[in-house]
Each structure stands twice: as structure tokens, then as C-alpha cells.
């Protein structure tokens, strides 16, 4: 058998492997979409808000919200922010559930900032950025002290 005879078999193997990877990625995306939808539904039910009420509060159509909750649609970050406002929950929590943001370690300060309904999302982000920069500065100073 010449090397050229092996090439089609090798190409077929690679194509099959790529197919499995794509299938796995598609499944993972599907789980994320279903996960965010289920999370939104559970938050809505905990808040005792109907789908219609949430649609009115967010400006997102009732059918589209229903499709999101059933895992048929993946909402944009903007729609997630509207839903978060409508449910009075952290947009960050929805972004994490949707896979847009990595989960952050829990902190009393960050939880308090995100829980404050009087702050805008932008104000919350700025406060947390400042807080994190102070923490990094203090950790750096502590590392320098340990080296001495």
C-alpha cells in the first residue's frame, strides 16, 4: 500500500473526529441555552411574576421570553440585562449562567453591591472595579512585605 492510499483513510478519520468535536460543542451550547432558560424561569417563579408581567416589565415579547425559558433561543447580553432588571436580579448572574462571564468568587462586598437596587449596572461595575483594584494593590503590598 502506498502512502497515497492511506491519505483518504486518515482524512476520513480526521473529518470524523472534527464531526465529534462539533457535535460535542453544539451539545454544550444547547445545554447553556437550556440552562439560562431554566434559570430565568426559576427566578421568575421565585419572584412570583408571570411571563406576561415580565414581558411588559422588560419590553421583550412574551413569545420570545417563552422561547428563551424553553431553551429554544439564546438571548443577547442586552436582552439578559432587560430580564435582570425586570426580575430585579443581578445581570452578572444571568451573564454567568449564559456563559458570557466567568463565575466570580463570592464576596460579601460584591454581593452587597449587586443586591443594591438603587445603583445602576454601570455604577455597580465601577464600584466593583475600584474595589478589585484596592484588593490587588493590597495583595501586591503584602507580597512585597513577605519578600523582605
58 near 83, Cβ under 8 Å? yes
* Residue 54, domain extent: 1-102
Mean pLDDT of 37-65: 92
Q: What is the mean pLDDT of the chain?
A: 77
Please, which contacts does 44-48 make with residues 24 or more away whose CB atoms are closer than 8 Å?
A: 44/69, 44/87, 47/87, 47/88
Mean pLDDT of 126-144: 84
Whether 95 and 146 share a structural domain = no
Q: What DSSP character marks residue 89?
A: S
Mean pLDDT of 122-146: 83
- C-alpha grid cell for residue 138? 493590597
For 21-35, 82-96, 104-118, 123-137, which range has the lowest pLDDT when averaged over its residues? 21-35
> Which pLDDT does position 53 carry in this prediction?
95
Mean pLDDT of 83-104: 80
Range list of H helices, the chain: 3-46, 51-58, 62-69, 77-87, 91-98, 108-115, 121-147
The structure's pTM equals: 0.50
Residue in the block written with cell 412570583: 48
- Where is pLDDT greater, at 2 or 91? 91
Domain count, the chain: 2
Whether 86 and 115 share a structural domain = no
- Where is pLDDT greater, at 124 or 7? 124
CATH classification at residue 18: 1.10.260.40
Mean pLDDT of 60-70: 95
Amino acid at each position: 500500500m502506498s502512502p497515497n492510499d492511506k491519505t483518504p483513510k486518515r482524512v476520513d478519520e480526521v473529518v470524523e473526529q472534527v464531526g465529534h468535536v462539533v457535535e460535542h460543542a453544539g451539545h454544550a451550547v444547547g445545554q447553556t441555552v437550556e440552562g439560562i432558560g431554566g434559570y430565568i424561569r426559576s427566578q421568575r417563579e421565585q419572584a412570583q411574576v408571570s411571563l406576561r408581567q415580565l414581558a411588559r416589565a422588560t419590553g421583550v415579547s412574551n413569545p420570545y421570553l417563552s422561547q428563551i425559558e424553553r431553551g429554544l433561543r439564546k438571548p443577547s447580553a442586552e436582552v439578559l440585562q432587560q430580564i435582570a432588571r425586570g426580575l430585579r436580579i443581578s445581570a452578572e448572574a444571568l451573564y454567568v449562567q449564559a456563559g458570557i462571564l466567568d463565575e466570580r468568587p463570592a464576596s460579601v462586598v460584591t454581593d452587597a453591591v449587586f443586591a443594591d437596587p438603587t445603583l445602576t449596572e454601570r455604577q455597580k461595575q465601577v464600584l466593583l472595579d475600584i474595589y478589585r483594584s484596592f484588593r490587588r494593590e493590597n495583595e501586591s503590598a503584602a507580597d512585597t512585605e513577605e519578600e523582605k
